[in-house]
Structure 1
Amino acid sequence: MAATALPAARLPAPGMPSPARQTPRRAALRDVPQLHATLLKSGAMTTSPDSFHSLLEAAALPAPATSSAHLSYAIRLFRLGPHPPRSARSYNILIRSFLRAGHPEDALHLFVEMLDDTAVSPDQHTVANTVKSCSRMCDLSVGRGVQAYAFKRGFMVDQFVLNSLIHMYASCGDVVAAHVLFHTVQVKGVIAWNAMIAGYVKNGDWKEVVEMFKGMLEVRAPFDEVTLLSVATACGRLGDANLGQWIAEYAEEKGMLRSRNLATALVDMYAKCGELDKARRLFDRMHSRDVVAWSAMISGYTQSDRCREALAIFNEMQGTEVNPNDVTMVSVLSACAVLGALETGKWVHSYIRRKDLPLTVILGTALVDFYAKCGCIKDAVKAFESMPVRNTWTWTALIKGMASNGRSREALELFSSMLEANIEPTDVTFIGVLLACSHGCLVEEGRRHFTSMTQDYGICPRIEHYGCMVDLLGRAGLIDEAYQFIRNMPIEPNAVVWRALLSACTVHKNVEIGEEALKQIVPLDPCHSGNYILLSNTYASVGQWKNAAMVRKEMKEKGVEKIPGCSLIELEGTIFEFFAEDSEHPQLTEIYEKVHEMIENIKMVGYIPNTADARLDVDEYEKQVSVSHHSEKLAIAFGLMKSRPGATIRLSKNLRVCIDCHSATKLISKVYNREIIVRDRNRFHHFKDGLCSCNDYW
């Protein structure tokens, strides 16, 4: 079925069902007693069963929904109704009413009562609605009992009974039984198909949803908006943009996009398939958007690493009457975590408290992760401790946060507390543990945890775990051991593993293994500029300037462009972006003047520019100017200009902090009496009083 060609979206729908029959408007509750009194006076309550049933229906099934007052009145009518005894129709009305009001247990009890009533017998409508009660309660054992009764009474040929049973088995997880029943249906209508599809949706079998729909197209079975909504959701989960696009085009042509639910499902589908521009166009056309639609867009932008757009659309949402929910907040916090947008994230946390949103495990974990990724470990710990329930991911988020913020020992202590709490670690937890060992130069602990992962927890190391071990050994200067570790890996090392070794060679000036590492990386990742720059810097660190220049030349000849350094800084809820040698910022002149002042001031307390990372084809003065214009220095200068005296400056950088910027920022923190928190590609650096939390080990 996977190869089934989709019909052109412009063709009419095969066997589309006719619109549902309109139900007459029923009486309001205030009218029911008057109708009741009229029927009593006329004697119709006892002489006309249809009149009684109409009254009972008016009380039990009002439009648009059953209220508790209506239901109470209907129950009294049913219990005190006229003689002769109650009929199957009156039971059916009340059973439907219980279902509609969300009381499937009461509907089931009424069915049992009906079985004990010798004057009346359940019919096929009773059975179908009772099976729906079992679906709502997810009670397979009772459902099977009702099916046995239906078989005994000969109701298994009834379309409504079969459809209800298919839905019951599918939604309760027994899709095999549902399939058996489904194939007994001679003429399968849209309800039968939707019942099977709904069961697969509930069980998360997204591939089966798509296959069922393709089967419908093959046999030209009828489908409706409910079908398309389920299949669009499945397309999003599977990343099937082709089928999703067909559904969107079909819905557009048939005028079905007026349905907010279907339009929202398609927006979510496009977003999950990475088609953000298509999602946004459809989103902008929607006349009415609920919280699900807004959340789908925000989540889509966040997951596609377009976090600034995620926050922009969240700000747009604030101007509407739609209130965000916990799902929205998880996506917003994730975007804030990526961007380091502390103030926006704090506002989200405040909103959660003000609106008394339940601190679910997912939302609480997002808060912990957000604060940790903004360098606010104390706040991350507070969020962690405030959670009523925590799972493995919550503990893992804090362990990784501790590791990246230079609190390696605390991260390992937290891991021990996690084990004492009988929380089973995952492979991701061990990545956090090994990162903590790597950032803290805890070699023996790292070796022990790497071994324990397999021996004690049966977790097979992934490439990320091997990369952590290479990084740990390399940072500690054990270059030969790291190299042999890679050679002995049971799985093929990737470019990231070799790059970790190459980076260590640069720090520890090991040219020979650095050359070997680059030779292994180039076939795996030929266009990554960092590979060539690392080896060039390794040559430069030992004075081999000619070799360093040759590597840069080779990089240029291959058309490999250096990734520009980029730093983000948030001030008063707005995120500003700076690039190395920036020439586009509107306040460029003032910023460069501030940089010059900054450099002159730190020179007075011992700063000497380190030009090892500068261009090799310029003189020493130009090299010094070049390193002074790195993106983080521009961002720090802007922060000094725009923030109040003494305020913490926070920024994030897309690359590893270079040696010169690290030395300069330590002195800037001392001269200007500021705490400066920098998140680079690998970890956090908390600069204060001329020192860094990494202890110059990064």
Structure 2
Amino acid sequence: MATAVHTAVAPPPPHAPPARATFRHVPQLHAQLLKSGELTASPASFHSLLDATALATPAASPAHLSYALRLFRLGPRPPLSARSYNILMRAFLRAGQPEDALHLFVEMLDTASACPDQHTVACSLKACSRMRALDLGRGIQAYAVKRGLTVDQFVLSSLIHMYASCGDVAAAQLLFDAVENKSVVMWNAIISGYFRNGDWNDVVDVFKHMLEVGEAFDQITLVSVVTACGRIGDAKLGEWIGRYAEENGMMGNRNLVTALVDMYAKCGELAKARRLFDGLQLKDVVAWSAMISGYTQADQCQEALALFSRMQATELEPNDVTMVSVLSACAVLGALETGKWVHSYVRRKHLPLTVVLGTALVDFYAKCGCIDSAVEVFKSMSIKNSWTWTALIKGMASNGRGREALELFSCMREAKCEPTDVTFIGVLLACSHNGLVEEGRWHFNSMTQDYGIQPKVEHYGCMVDLLGRAGLIDEAYQFVRTMPIEPNTVVWRTLLSSCTVYKNVEIGEEALKQIISLDPSHSGDYVLLSNIYASVGQWKDAAMIRKEMKDGGIDRSPGCSLIELDGTIFEFFAEDSDHPQLSEIYEKVEEIIDKIKMVGYVPNTADARLDIDESKKEVSVSHHSEKLAIAFGLMKLQPGATIRLSKNLRVCTDCHSATKLISKVYSREIVVRDRNRYHHFKDGYCSCNDYW
């Protein structure tokens, strides 16, 4: 649009400043034009000076705009024309002040000497798009129709873009469909409209139609389409665009390459994403955020944090999008100190606590077992949505504060915030962990009756857990049998866990039989049934299960525990042999075992590996990954500091018993997040009440 304005006028005289001159030359040139008299005599000279002032390179500052506005208002100058207004309107749009651009349009309507042209209308519609001012946009369209300006391609494109940006995509599509000869600008306008509204499938569909009918597209088109491909996981089209961009020399477009990085990362093609990312000479915050987000979404959270560490070594400042991805990675790894640094950075830089960022902080603190900090962030948020409430409700339920979770759910309802299906998972977990059977049943029925939410397999699993924890094993079994949807391994495994606690052999056998038919390779399920047999004295059956595992090549998955110290994640495996301080750690473990034996600890060798001699099983269980991580924490953390770790498997019975006693003997709070839930060990007790 700007190019069309300037090619329509004669070149400026020799003393006029070139368009886009840097602002430091403007006052001197202004003085020369005043002295020569050309400023008032030559409209071209005035417009060139105004252009150089209002649209200075680099982007005009408030001082530049103020200078341009004084020149525009006070003169001396020739009579104002549409071009004068258009230059200043574009400057206001460029400066992010669309309201001021619209004020100039209204002023022109009352000015006899300056009549709005097609460029004025296009600028005004662009301002309406920025403000999402649909009614104003419709009024400007009426004016354009009256003046016969809607035949102009820029006006039509701006109208399409305005309607789409304001949410009326149907009107945008009607206008678009009515145009016979569509320019690439117009195609981009409709694509941009769908893009702004998050209609990713429509973006892709429009582009596919362009390909079918042979319409031309440009790099702007591709940036939007490849971003949409990432959102819907259309790797095939995304890769086609990637190849097209390489073959047609478009890889110098940083926006397009960044969009490709984002697309590959979101589609799980992390190697391709990283190759493009590493090849970028100038990486902006969007590129860093896309790559970090890709690692986080692919559960490669240590890589995400390592890349974030590299980003910190640059001069770039992360934005809220970066922070959300980093917090998600910290939540998965239990990287409390790194996440705290992120929170501190948000406060230090006065980043707005948006709903997304605030919810990520609540979720992070909850998943690190810091519920009080999660509550603090929750209370500080001015705007909350259902996901914010849900994050805290689930966090409280999983951390053994079920009563508070249910109270929070009541507050959510009072706040007229509609719960989601995920909210009810948190509510049912809260009922389960507090033994509130009747209340759990009521909430389960309320999902459908009061909110029209059909229960998913996860909700049925929560009900099985609720009944099982309460000792209602037969009822839990009948509940599974009468489920209207097929129970998965998680549901049967939940029932099997209940049978382990309440020593129900018959239903435990049936549960394992169903699990094996769905997933025969999960070692933990065999171990649970073996433990049931052992608990009732059926030693031969217990041995038979262990033999079946050994004969079937079903080995227990290696335990892995993560602990964070000074912002660094340390990883331990069961019977680890690859840590630089291994001898000191094993010495610490021996010290721990000796001390807790003095207060009643008896090793449970049933939790040892199957492929070792009986005489070595006690040593084997003492070298489980969480014991190594706890020993490392006791060695490195300040006295009295809470030890926090994450484990990839369910905490075994031996480690659970040992950790309770460690918390008492060493006067430490120990927070362990395993595959199932959170365990807060303190003074010899666990928040799970020995049911997990």
- Give TM-score scaled by structure 2 length: 0.91
Cα deviation for residue 499 of structure 1 reads 1.2
Asked whether the equivalents of residues 652 and 679 of structure 1 are also in contact (C-alpha less than 8 Å), the reply is: yes
Partner of 2:145: 151
The worse-fitting range, judged by mean Cα deviation, of 294-303 and 244-253 is 244-253
Partner of 1:313: 307
How many angstroms apart in 1 are the aligned matches of 2:53 and 2:317?
34
Is it true that 1:511 corresponds to 2:509 in the alignment?
no
How many angstroms apart in 1 are the aligned matches of 2:73 and 2:613?
99
- Give deviations 1:400-439, integer Å, cap 9, x for gaps: 2222222222222332333344433322222112112222
How many angstroms apart in 2 are the aligned matches of 1:300 and 1:74?
45
Partner of 1:470: 464
SS state of the match for residue 575, structure 1?
strand
Partner of 1:643: 637
Asked whether the equivalents of residues 550 and 610 of structure 2 are also in contact (C-alpha less than 8 Å), the reply is: no
- Letter in structure 2 aligned against 1:605: V
Partner of 2:3: none
Partner of 1:15: none
Asked whether the equivalents of residues 541 and 612 of structure 1 are also in contact (C-alpha less than 8 Å), the reply is: no
Partner of 1:498: 492
Match of 2:567 among 548, 562, 573: 573
How many angstroms apart in 2 are the aligned matches of 1:334 and 1:517?
34
Distance 1:55 1:336, change over 3 A: closer
The worse-fitting range, judged by mean Cα deviation, of 167-176 and 380-389 is 380-389
Asked whether the equivalents of residues 115 and 122 of structure 1 are also in contact (C-alpha less than 8 Å), the reply is: yes
Partner of 1:653: 647
- Give deviations 1:217-243, integer Å, cap 9, x for gaps: 223322222111111211110111222
Distance 1:623 1:146, change over 3 A: same
Give the RMSD, CA atoms, in angstroms: 2.8
Match of 1:429 among 411, 423, 426: 423
Is it true that 1:258 corresponds to 2:252 in the alignment?
yes
Summarize the alignment of residues 475-490 of structure 1 with structure 2, pairs less than 5 Å apart. 475-490=469-484
Match of 2:199 among 205, 229, 234: 205
Is it true that 1:362 corresponds to 2:352 in the alignment?
no
Distance 1:157 1:42, change over 3 A: same
SS state of the match for residue 679, structure 2?
strand
SS state of the match for residue 612, structure 1?
helix
Partner of 2:120: 126
Partner of 1:169: 163
Asked whether the equivalents of residues 241 and 273 of structure 1 are also in contact (C-alpha less than 8 Å), the reply is: yes
Is it true that 1:391 corresponds to 2:391 in the alignment?
no
- Give deviations 1:594-647, integer Å, cap 9, x for gaps: 323322222222222223333567664333233222221222222233334333
Distance 1:554 1:124, change over 3 A: same
Asked whether the equivalents of residues 46 and 77 of structure 2 are also in contact (C-alpha less than 8 Å), the reply is: no
Distance 1:197 1:558, change over 3 A: farther
- Give deviations 1:441-492, integer Å, cap 9, x for gaps: 2223222322233333333222111111101111222110001111222222
> What stretches of structure 1 of length at least 5 have no aligned partner?
1-19
Partner of 1:445: 439
Partner of 2:344: 350
How many angstroms apart in 2 are the aligned matches of 1:485 and 1:555?
29
Partner of 2:48: 54
Distance 1:324 1:65, change over 3 A: closer
How many angstroms apart in 2 are the aligned matches of 1:674 and 1:91?
71
SS state of the match for residue 576, structure 1?
strand
- Letter in structure 1 aligned against 2:274: R
Match of 2:534 among 529, 534, 540: 540
How many angstroms apart in 1 are the aligned matches of 2:654 and 2:31?
92
Q: Which fold has the larger relative contact order, with Cα–Cα distance below 8 Å and residues 6 or more apart in sequence?
A: 1
Summarize the alignment of residues 18-167 of structure 1 with structure 2, pairs less than 5 Å apart. 24-29=18-23, 31-32=25-26, 35=29, 38-39=32-33, 44=38, 47-79=41-73, 85-167=79-161
Asked whether the equivalents of residues 549 and 616 of structure 1 are also in contact (C-alpha less than 8 Å), the reply is: no
- Letter in structure 2 aligned against 1:123: D
- Give deviations 1:543-571, integer Å, cap 9, x for gaps: 33333344344445555443222111222
- Letter in structure 2 aligned against 1:629: H
Summarize the alignment of residues 596-675 of structure 1 with structure 2, pairs less than 5 Å apart. 596-615=590-609, 620-675=614-669
Match of 1:285 among 268, 272, 279: 279
SS state of the match for residue 156, structure 1?
coil
Match of 1:375 among 358, 365, 369: 369
Cα deviation for residue 336 of structure 1 reads 1.4
How many angstroms apart in 2 are the aligned matches of 1:189 and 1:113?
31
The worse-fitting range, judged by mean Cα deviation, of 220-229 and 74-83 is 74-83
Partner of 1:244: 238
The worse-fitting range, judged by mean Cα deviation, of 144-153 and 658-667 is 144-153
Cα deviation for residue 517 of structure 1 reads 1.6
Partner of 2:14: none
How many angstroms apart in 1 are the aligned matches of 2:153 and 2:385?
45
Asked whether the equivalents of residues 438 and 472 of structure 1 are also in contact (C-alpha less than 8 Å), the reply is: yes
Distance 1:255 1:439, change over 3 A: same
How many angstroms apart in 1 are the aligned matches of 2:40 and 2:370?
75
Partner of 1:294: 288
Is it true that 1:218 corresponds to 2:212 in the alignment?
yes
Asked whether the equivalents of residues 25 and 63 of structure 1 are also in contact (C-alpha less than 8 Å), the reply is: no
Partner of 2:676: 682
SS state of the match for residue 493, structure 1?
coil
- Give deviations 1:55-107, integer Å, cap 9, x for gaps: 44344433343444444444444445689854333333333333333333333
Partner of 2:262: 268
Cα deviation for residue 215 of structure 1 reads 2.0
SS state of the match for residue 663, structure 1?
helix
How many angstroms apart in 2 are the aligned matches of 1:206 and 1:691?
51
Asked whether the equivalents of residues 512 and 525 of structure 2 are also in contact (C-alpha less than 8 Å), the reply is: yes
How many angstroms apart in 2 are the aligned matches of 1:111 and 1:657?
69
Cα deviation for residue 120 of structure 1 reads 4.8
- Letter in structure 1 aligned against 2:438: E
Asked whether the equivalents of residues 22 and 58 of structure 2 are also in contact (C-alpha less than 8 Å), the reply is: no
- Give TM-score scaled by structure 1 length: 0.90
Asked whether the equivalents of residues 340 and 652 of structure 1 are also in contact (C-alpha less than 8 Å), the reply is: yes
- Letter in structure 1 aligned against 2:689: N
SS state of the match for residue 605, structure 2?
coil
How many angstroms apart in 2 are the aligned matches of 1:206 and 1:640?
51
Match of 1:531 among 525, 534, 539: 525
Asked whether the equivalents of residues 268 and 279 of structure 1 are also in contact (C-alpha less than 8 Å), the reply is: yes
Distance 1:564 1:185, change over 3 A: same
How many angstroms apart in 1 are the aligned matches of 2:86 and 2:377?
51
The worse-fitting range, judged by mean Cα deviation, of 442-451 and 551-560 is 551-560
SS state of the match for residue 634, structure 2?
helix
How many angstroms apart in 1 are the aligned matches of 2:239 and 2:208?
14
SS state of the match for residue 257, structure 1?
coil
How many angstroms apart in 1 are the aligned matches of 2:40 and 2:573?
87
